Amino acid sequence: MARTAHGGRRITIAHVAEAAGVSRATVSRVMNGLATVDPEIGRRVREAAEQLNYSPSTVARSLAMGRTQTVAIVVPDLGNPMFQDTLRGLSRAAARAGYRVLVADSAENPDEEIILAREARRRCDALVLVSPRMDSAVLGQLLPELAPVVLVNRESPVDGVPSLAVDYGAGIRAIVSELQRLGHRRLAYLAGPDGSYGNRARLDALHHLLDAESPEIVEVPCGAMFEDGYRAKDAVLATGATAAVCFNDLVALGLLGALHEAGIDVPGRISVTGFDGIQFARFASPALTTASVPQTQLGEEAWARLWSVLSDAEPADDLTVTPRLEIRASVGPAHQVHA
């Protein structure tokens, strides 16, 4: 809202216009950042506003521009630090342009995700969908309705929708290659949620490791949270695997906790790997080997593309990032299983 100057006078756009010697419409254009104002006049208006301690009403500005100055981000689970990192990157970048970010958490429910995406888009100028769990066909029908929208951690099934994808296959192959180098011949893969695009991509990569030198892969249904990994301990050990390849870092940390409680040595008895590279992973005991994804950077890149669309500019090309393998103490040479 407009500020109050010394003496209690309420400063309005009219006072700024009078001090700068221009019309109120010109002040409005300058305050809204429109490029149709002469630079010298713009400088004069900004100086007058600063001297009068004037700040435009955000509500009035939104009404004038037909925008809310907010964008929304929908994530499957805000409790996952990976999604918090994406939010952090998006929020910081958007704030520099005067935008704020609203957050919605679908609790890993694809049906709820559709509802939240529609509701959030109605209240905001644009939308970021992070790792959407919905089916590709459903997503393809929904995306045109949500525009402008950017997809993060997933390729877009619709032309013209910017996306920032992760090469999950490359990440999982790097993990398996390191375990194979260490002599592991039987791996347990702790699978993520059924609707997860990233889980399907990981599984596809694992299923294509078909040469004679590739380790045997045993799939263990699991999930995406600490407690899922914790509960999977017995199922993992029952496979006879010498290494557990977990869907993400949270699952891996949960499994590490359960193994520690049971007195099972990691990596002496079984190696454990994660995926995503959340900050907690390096502080686990033992420190977790993982495929690290630059989620903060992806949040910043998402904003750059949204801002281009909101500014009627051509967004940068789609981007696919390759996870970086972080080898830490949770992996070691394969334990020899005796019959």
CATH code, 168-293: 3.40.50.2300
Express each pLDDT in 211-265 by its tens digit.
Answer: 768 899 999 999 999 999 999 999 999 999 999 999 999 999 999 999 999 999 9
Residue 217 is which amino acid? I
Contact between 226 and 252 (Cβ < 8 Å): no
Q: Provide the pLDDT for residue 42.
A: 82
Backbone angles phi, psi at 60, to 5 degrees: -65, -40
| Identical topology for domains 6-65 and 168-293 | no
Mean pLDDT is lowest, of 178-187, 294-303, 310-319, 325-334, for 310-319
Q: Under CATH, which architecture does the 6-65 domain have?
A: Orthogonal Bundle (1.10)
Report DSSP letters for 191-259, one per residue: E--TT-HHHHHHHHHHHT--STTSPEEEEEE--SSHHHHHHTHHHHHHTT-SEEEESSHHHHHHHHHHH
Alpha-carbon span 130 to 13, nearest angstrom: 40
Q: Provide the pLDDT for residue 56.
A: 62
CATH homologous superfamily of domain 70-167+295-322?
A: Response regulator (3.40.50.2300)
pLDDT at 322 over 90: yes
Average pLDDT over residues 262-276: 98
This prediction has a pTM of 0.79
pLDDT at 2 over 70: no
Domain ranges of the chain: 6-65, 70-167+295-322, 168-293
Average pLDDT over residues 132-138: 93
pLDDT at 8 over 80: no
pLDDT at 17 over 60: yes
Average pLDDT over residues 94-123: 94
pLDDT at 59 over 60: no
pLDDT at 35 over 90: no
Mean pLDDT is lowest, of 26-40, 164-178, 201-215, for 26-40
pLDDT at 164 over 90: yes
Compute and round to an integer the Cα radius of gyration of the chain: 25
Q: Provide the pLDDT for residue 4.
A: 46
pLDDT at 192 over 90: yes
Q: How confident is the model at residue 137 (pLDDT cuts 50, 70, 90)?
A: very high
Question: Which residue from 242, 266, 240 is spatially nearest to 254, judged by alpha carbons?
Answer: 266
